[in-house]
Chains A and B, each alone.
Chain A
Amino acid sequence: MQGIQSAAQVTSWLVTGRELFLIIHILGILCFAYIVAKRLVPLVRAQRDLRFDHPLARLGRVLKFWLGQWKHPRYKTAGTIHILIFAGFILLAMRAFTVLIVGVSENFVMPGLSGRAGEIYNTITDYAATIVFLCMVIAVIRRLVFRPARYAVPARFGKAHAADAIFLLALIAILMVADSLFAAAKAAAQSQQGQPLEVLAVFSLPWILQSVLASTALPTLGRLYFGAYLLHEVTFYFLLCYRPFGIQFHVETSLFNVYFAKLDREILKPVRWGVSDEHLDQVKSFGVKTFEDFTWKHMLDFYSCADCGRCSDNCPANAVGRPLSPRFITIKARDYAFQHYPVLGRSNNGTPLVGCKESGSIYSEDEIWSCTTCGACEEECPLLVEYIDKIVDLRRGMIDDGNVPQSLQKPLKALESRGNPYGKMEKKKADWTKAKDFQQTCNVKVVDGKNSADTLYFVDSITSFDDRMQSIGRATAKILTHVGENFGILGASEKDSGHEVRRFGEETLFMALRDHNVDAIKASGVKRIVTADPHAYNALKHDYKDVPPVEHISQVIAKEVKAGNIKFNPVENTDSIYAYHDPCYLGRHNQIYDDPRDVLDAIPGLKRVEMKRSRDRSFCCGGGGLMLFYEPKEDQRMGVKRVQMAAEAGANVIVTACPFCMVNIEDAIKVAGMEGKMTAIDLAELVDQQIARGVEVSNSSLNNPISCHLEQSEGSAVLANSSKTPDSSLRSE
């Protein structure tokens, strides 16, 4: 090339461009390698995490969540901007690589990108650089002018992150400008000398710059060309080495974070990877107490967080002013890692993470107990950062140290001695079946040595003992009876499923409850399990092993409706507008979104609306199990917010499918002063109330004659009455 010298050829201060750029390359790469090596130090000291299995499944997730940016469109503006930047970066990767090499070897052309292919690639990347540049401008404007609330940093979590974010955005913008200027100066010089032009894409940033530079003198163009190259070079390596100090580290780590992301999210992390339950007694310390108790993947999560705030934006605990913000669980841990494993200097570690502020703890106890494990944060995270396992691990550490709020100690102790958090006597577990008018119509048998059944109805503690929730149990039993199911309950030998016991970190107690229940279930000889409690459902399905298949009652009802075994009377109160609230452990954790809705839509005349936050964005009602005993510090109840959301959607009946949701929502209706304007009903209760009992039951159930059939006619009479006032019949005054 004549006219202007290539960047490699330029000589100044006795150094050729080639030498200068070679030195920058080597320094830049060495520096980056050193920083990354330092960042990997805590990962080496971390706990094991078995994430090297199923490479194909993992690759599939990389294609979907990394390359496909699957979660991003959930936030339309930010998502679109990110997808454009990401696509731009992917497209520009080869161009950046080529440009870097050109500084040392001026005639370098990426194999496969010579001739026509190269021209097409250049055109595409001219536009890509332009789009990335524009996205940077938009992103900076968003940060400066529009300031989306989720980027704000509450005072208790330190200073705002905006300046750092804008600095990084500006660096990328500079990189794009330098890259374009480099191409534009070259093209302008070629054009002035009448040489064959490297065609620049019309209206792209290089094209515009070329037009501006069209009449610039050649020597100036030469200097611009070299200057642009140098700027590109320096900015590139500065960014490369600066990113591991903040949120843009995700540019490097995201690919690995998505590849190693948890495949079976519904299964809780074991106390220690590679240690079986039988050997757990030999593990001295449970859970996460110091930073090094996290697994290497959880540390990688900390590095990979892009600080986008989507987790906390969806976190119900954060929404009601509890001390928890998932975003800062990560950010604080990342800052801890940076501080205790510095790039320069020795690492120091071993300080407790929770509780002890004087010794530098980063989390408060309340922060860690505030989580309902609803999973909204994980559902949202574009980088598949995990939260529930970390929260549970931190709780395991607190339980192990005896650091448990008094409000939780009582129910935990009761679970240990009585098998339920209320301290009720075991022999009263089946008392809900003995309600007078219920027992006359539906006789629920206890599956013990004498009675056997095909199906086990696993009731769990709250439905067994809570006066209000017993109604859900009775409705469930009546539905199972109606469809001719040969079912029974475990009665006194059923203990709490332990679902929340495990999620509150009391693994040893959970194992005792689980082992007891597994033995009882196996001894009962049932072939399948049905439950109306999503928490029990989740425990039986994912936490228990070697038990028969388990279904939630909403799945059973949906199936029976489809098969024609359940027919409904039309809704009589036409003023009722129903909204279905997805329980976290039915929806997000088990993807059962459609069955309950299908059931509702099968009821003639039922008007149903969707709340803005529904399905996988459902808003937790306040949490179940032990969370009912915990006294959180909060401005407002989650349930109150949820009830208001239902009202906004225009509903006056909230249908849910979980006894804990019922507790929280009914309480919230009272707290919000909406009694009379809003009611709550469980799906099973509604179905039981609307079932048309005179209708013939299909032949499948006739093969399964059970005691309840005899009383059917009487039952239908009772229920026909109650269905006349569908909205109020189950509400206590």
Chain B
Amino acid sequence: MEILVCVRRVPDTSENEIELNSAGNDIERDDLVYSINEPDNYAVEEALQIVARVGGNVTVATVGGEDDEEVLRREMAMGANHGVLITDEAFNGSDGKGIATILKAFVQKGSYDLILTGVQAEDGGAQVGGMLAALLDYPFASLVNSIEVLDGKKLKISREIEGGNKEISEIDLPCVLSIQTGINEPRYVGMKGIRQVAAIPIPTFGVSNLGLEPSAVGEAAAKVKRVDYFVPTLGKGAEILHGSREENIDKVLELVAAKGGLK
């Protein structure tokens, strides 16, 4: 099975202190460390596990700049067969639909049975996967938390629905799936692995070799524009109990029961 995983490099929320810049229209980006968007990492792991079961290749692609090569290499160190950097000045300022348009052009350059994305980018809006499917006229499922390959170009997938319940569906290939974290346990990528793929050339695609109209992507085509970032005002803090251990236990039970947590 030929699988494409669309990935993205984002500021690592666990290793940064995210602050607004002085203008208030973006976050402070000096001193940030970036990493692969976490759900995308699960998507790559899932692709690798599918390929390990049924054979095939995994390609990881990202729309971005030179710096984003880092995450492609990390995923290649994980085991992805190919990495592709889709980059062009004309892409700057693309909105979700713009990114989906770029990815659609790339998908049509190759032949993929399955396209995976992470459920959402940590700095995004969970929009690209669905739009990509629509543009390609492929079936789409979101929040997928298990995949089983069936005979006859079909997948059996399960989706997480409200309350932790699962909904099981069959879906025709080719399709687009957005992958929920927790679907697997992504393998660890150490420095050694990254070093071993450091010299592999990563092909790049731009407007010209994707056959895109520059006006269809980038800032000019964007219909969604970010206008502001703000930090929400602090709400009421947690209630701290100051009793003895026994008193606190009783109080906690009472509070939980009052909220309907105990039946």
| Inter-chain contacts of B196 with A (CB < 8 A) | 281
| A416, A427, A673 interface centre (most CB from chain B within 10 Å) | A416
**Could you give, for residues 158-187 of chain B, a 1 whenever the CB lies within 8 Å of some chain A CB and a 0 otherwise?**
000000000000000000000000000111
- Is A235's beta carbon under 8 Å from chain B? no
| Inter-chain contacts of B193 with A (CB < 8 A) | 402
Task: Verify A399–B14 contact, CB threshold 8 A.
Answer: no
Task: Verify B190–A509 contact, CB threshold 8 A.
Answer: yes
| Inter-chain contacts of A425 with B (CB < 8 A) | 16-17, 31
CB within 8 Å of B: which A399-439 residues: 399-404, 406, 408-410, 412-414, 416-418, 423-425, 427
- Is B189's beta carbon under 8 Å from chain A? yes
Task: Verify B35–A417 contact, CB threshold 8 A.
Answer: yes
- Selected from A413, A414, A417, A508, the residue in CB contact (under 8 A) with B192 is A508
| Inter-chain contacts of B14 with A (CB < 8 A) | 410, 414, 423
**Cβ-Cβ contact count across A and B, 8 Å cutoff:** 60
Q: Separation in Å of the B69 CB from the closest CB of chain A?
A: 16
- Is A512's beta carbon under 8 Å from chain B? yes
| B14, B33, B188, B193 interface centre (most CB from chain A within 10 Å) | B188
| Inter-chain contacts of B191 with A (CB < 8 A) | 416, 506, 508-509, 512
A403-B16 contact, Cβ under 8 Å, with A418-B33, A427-B31, A508-B195? no
**Could you give, for residues 280-304 of chain A, a 1 whenever the CB lies within 8 Å of some chain B CB and a 0 otherwise?**
0100001000000000000000000
Task: Verify A423–B12 contact, CB threshold 8 A.
Answer: yes
**Could you give, for residues 176-217 of chain B, a 1 whenever the CB lies within 8 Å of some chain A CB and a 0 otherwise?**
000000000111111111011000000000000000000000
* Complex-state Cα separation, A410 to B33, whole angstroms: 13
| Inter-chain contacts of B245 with A (CB < 8 A) | 673
**Could you give, for residues 88-111 of chain B, a 1 whenever the CB lies within 8 Å of some chain A CB and a 0 otherwise?**
000000000000000000000000
| Inter-chain contacts of A508 with B (CB < 8 A) | 190-192, 195
Task: Verify A406–B12 contact, CB threshold 8 A.
Answer: no
Task: Verify B188–A414 contact, CB threshold 8 A.
Answer: no
Task: Verify B31–A409 contact, CB threshold 8 A.
Answer: no
| Inter-chain contacts of B35 with A (CB < 8 A) | 413, 417
| Inter-chain contacts of A412 with B (CB < 8 A) | 188, 190
Q: Separation in Å of the B218 CB from the closest CB of chain A?
A: 30
- Selected from A399, A406, A416, A423, the residue in CB contact (under 8 A) with B185 is A406
- Selected from A281, A399, A400, A418, the residue in CB contact (under 8 A) with B15 is A418
- Is B78's beta carbon under 8 Å from chain A? yes
Task: Verify B33–A417 contact, CB threshold 8 A.
Answer: yes
Q: Separation in Å of the A369 CB from the closest CB of chain B?
A: 12
Q: Give the nearest-CB partner of A284 in chain B.
A: B196
| Inter-chain contacts of A413 with B (CB < 8 A) | 12, 15, 35
Task: Verify A402–B192 contact, CB threshold 8 A.
Answer: no
Q: Give the nearest-CB partner of A416 in chain B.
A: B191
Q: Give the nearest-CB partner of A281 in chain B.
A: B195
* Complex-state Cα separation, A418 to B15, whole angstroms: 7
Q: Give the nearest-CB partner of A399 in chain B.
A: B190
Q: Count how many chain A residues have C-beta atoms less than 8 Å from C-beta atoms of the other chain.
A: 28
Q: Give the nearest-CB partner of B31 in chain A.
A: A425
Q: Give the nearest-CB partner of B33 in chain A.
A: A417
Task: Verify B190–A506 contact, CB threshold 8 A.
Answer: yes
**Could you give, for residues 11-36 of chain B, a 1 whenever the CB lies within 8 Å of some chain A CB and a 0 otherwise?**
01011110000000000000101010
Q: Separation in Å of the B11 CB from the closest CB of chain A?
A: 11
| Inter-chain contacts of A423 with B (CB < 8 A) | 12, 14-16, 33
- Selected from B17, B189, B195, the residue in CB contact (under 8 A) with A402 is B189
| Inter-chain contacts of B190 with A (CB < 8 A) | 399-400, 402, 412, 506, 508-509
CB within 8 Å of B: which A3-56 residues: none
Q: Separation in Å of the A676 CB from the closest CB of chain B?
A: 11
| Inter-chain contacts of B186 with A (CB < 8 A) | 406, 409
Q: Separation in Å of the B31 CB from the closest CB of chain A?
A: 6
| Inter-chain contacts of A402 with B (CB < 8 A) | 78, 187-190, 193
Q: Give the nearest-CB partner of A271 in chain B.
A: B192
| Inter-chain contacts of A404 with B (CB < 8 A) | 187-188
Q: Separation in Å of the A394 CB from the closest CB of chain B?
A: 15
| Inter-chain contacts of A400 with B (CB < 8 A) | 190, 192
**Could you give, for residues 33-53 of chain B, a 1 whenever the CB lies within 8 Å of some chain A CB and a 0 otherwise?**
101000000000000000000
| Inter-chain contacts of A408 with B (CB < 8 A) | 188
CB within 8 Å of B: which A647-675 residues: 673
Task: Verify B31–A414 contact, CB threshold 8 A.
Answer: no
Task: Verify A401–B187 contact, CB threshold 8 A.
Answer: yes
Q: Give the nearest-CB partner of B182 in chain A.
A: A406
**Could you give, for residues 122-159 of chain B, a 1 whenever the CB lies within 8 Å of some chain A CB and a 0 otherwise?**
00000000000000000000000000000000000000
* Complex-state Cα separation, A124 to B187, whole angstroms: 64
* Complex-state Cα separation, A506 to B195, whole angstroms: 14
| Inter-chain contacts of B17 with A (CB < 8 A) | 425
| Inter-chain contacts of A507 with B (CB < 8 A) | 192
- Selected from A409, A418, A424, the residue in CB contact (under 8 A) with B188 is A409
A417-B78 contact, Cβ under 8 Å, with A286-B192, A400-B192, A402-B188? no
* Complex-state Cα separation, A342 to B15, whole angstroms: 52
Q: Give the nearest-CB partner of B45 in chain A.
A: A402
**Could you give, for residues 372-413 of chain A, a 1 whenever the CB lies within 8 Å of some chain B CB and a 0 otherwise?**
000000000000000000000000000111111010111011
Q: Separation in Å of the A423 CB from the closest CB of chain B?
A: 3
A414-B15 contact, Cβ under 8 Å, with A286-B192, A400-B192, A508-B195? yes
| Inter-chain contacts of A406 with B (CB < 8 A) | 185-186
Q: Give the nearest-CB partner of A427 in chain B.
A: B31
Q: Give the nearest-CB partner of B15 in chain A.
A: A423
A417-B15 contact, Cβ under 8 Å, with A286-B192, A427-B31? yes
* Complex-state Cα separation, A402 to B193, whole angstroms: 9
Q: Give the nearest-CB partner of B189 in chain A.
A: A402
* Complex-state Cα separation, A506 to B31, whole angstroms: 25
Q: Give the nearest-CB partner of A405 in chain B.
A: B185
| Inter-chain contacts of B187 with A (CB < 8 A) | 401-404
Q: Separation in Å of the B43 CB from the closest CB of chain A?
A: 16
| Inter-chain contacts of A673 with B (CB < 8 A) | 245
* Complex-state Cα separation, A423 to B78, whole angstroms: 22
| Inter-chain contacts of B33 with A (CB < 8 A) | 417-418, 423
* Complex-state Cα separation, A506 to B191, whole angstroms: 8
Q: Give the nearest-CB partner of B195 in chain A.
A: A281
* Complex-state Cα separation, A646 to B68, whole angstroms: 53
| Inter-chain contacts of B189 with A (CB < 8 A) | 402
CB within 8 Å of B: which A505-531 residues: 506-509, 512
* Complex-state Cα separation, A418 to B16, whole angstroms: 9
Task: Verify B31–A403 contact, CB threshold 8 A.
Answer: no
Please list 10 pairs of residues, one from A and one from B, whose beta carbons are closer than 8 Å in the complex, sorted by A's number.
Answer: A399-B188, A402-B78, A402-B187, A402-B190, A403-B187, A408-B188, A409-B186, A413-B35, A417-B33, A418-B33
Known: A403-B188, A412-B190. 19 other contacts (CB 8 A): A281-B195, A400-B192, A401-B187, A402-B190, A404-B188, A408-B188, A410-B14, A412-B188, A413-B15, A414-B14, A417-B15, A417-B33, A417-B35, A418-B15, A418-B33, A423-B14, A424-B15, A425-B16, A509-B190
Query: Top 5 closest A-B pairs, CB basis?
Result: A402-B187, A423-B15, A404-B188, A508-B191, A508-B192
Interface residues of B (CB under 8 A from A): 12, 14-17, 31, 33, 35, 78, 185-193, 195-196, 245
